[in-house]
């Protein structure tokens, strides 16, 4: 059993603009097919860069405080008890922002489909993961962020017959 209001954090991010604390709730409870993380987001901070997933759906539930949810349809105020679902694909793009003067706490639920690809529309980056981020296993073999505009021909670098 775990409590979503616990103060024992599993992870903290300290990059300016993206500071948060995280309880890996589903991992603590032994989850394999369902992910759940509780976040505490300080005033003026964002959860992650604006992004969407190709393999996994996510759901946001606000536990305490107020956040602004950024989606393709704009900015939406959310408070205690509000929930939103993010389907796969560009229509499910999202970012959680705390524009209030107090910390906010929310849970992010996710399916845990492997492998996973995430896109970051603001930067044009693409995340390629052999396992869904937050999986309970060891560190994934493939966990890369790439320039989404860096395309190559399918046969780039492959030897052709007769070449040494």
Residue 39: which domain range?
A: 11-113
- Judged against a pLDDT cut of 70, whether residue 135 lies above it is answered with no
Q: How far is CA 110 from the centre of its chain?
A: 9
Within a domain: 156: no
Q: What is the pLDDT of residue 134?
A: 60
- For residue range 106-127, list pLDDT tens digits in order: 999 999 998 999 999 999 999 9
pLDDT at residue 146, as a whole number: 87
The answer as to whether 132 is a domain residue is no
- For residue 57, the domain's CATH number is 2.60.120.10
Number of residues that make up the chain: 164
Q: What is the pTM of this model?
A: 0.89
Examine residue 19 and state whether it is found in any structural domain, yes or no.
yes
Q: In total, how many domains does the chain have?
A: 1
Interstrand relation of 11-15 and 18-23 (parallel, antiparallel or unpaired): antiparallel
How many other CB atoms are found less than 10 A from the CB of residue 96? 23
Say if 157 falls within a structural domain. Answer: no
Question: Which position has the token pair 């906010």?
Answer: 104
Give the whole-number percent of the chain exceeding pLDDT 90: 77
Tens-place pLDDT, residues 93-110? 999 999 999 999 999 999
Dist CA 92 CA 88 (whole Å): 6
Query: Which tops the pLDDT comparison, 93 or 144?
Result: 93
Lowest-pLDDT range of 26-35, 65-74, 89-98, 123-132 = 123-132
């Amino acid at each position: 059993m775990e409590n979503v209001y616990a103060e024992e954090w599993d992870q903290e991010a300290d990059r300016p603009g993206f500071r948060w604390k995280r309880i890996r709730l589903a991992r603590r409870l032994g989850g394999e097919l369902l992910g759940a993380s509780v976040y505490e987001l300080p005033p003026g901070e964002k959860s992650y860069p604006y992004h969407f997933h190709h393999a996994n759906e996510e759901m946001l539930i606000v536990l305490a405080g107020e956040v602004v949810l950024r989606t393709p349809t704009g900015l939406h105020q959310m408070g205690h008890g509000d929930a939103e679902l993010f389907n796969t694909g560009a229509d499910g793009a999202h970012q959680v922002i705390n524009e209030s003067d107090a910390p906010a706490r929310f849970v992010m639920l996710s399916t845990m489909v492997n492998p996973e690809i995430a896109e970051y529309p603001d930067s044009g980056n693409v995340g390629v993961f052999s396992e869904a981020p937050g999986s309970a296993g060891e560190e994934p073999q493939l966990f890369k962020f790439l320039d989404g505009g860096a395309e190559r021909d399918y046969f780039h670098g492959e030897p052709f017959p007769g070449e040494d």
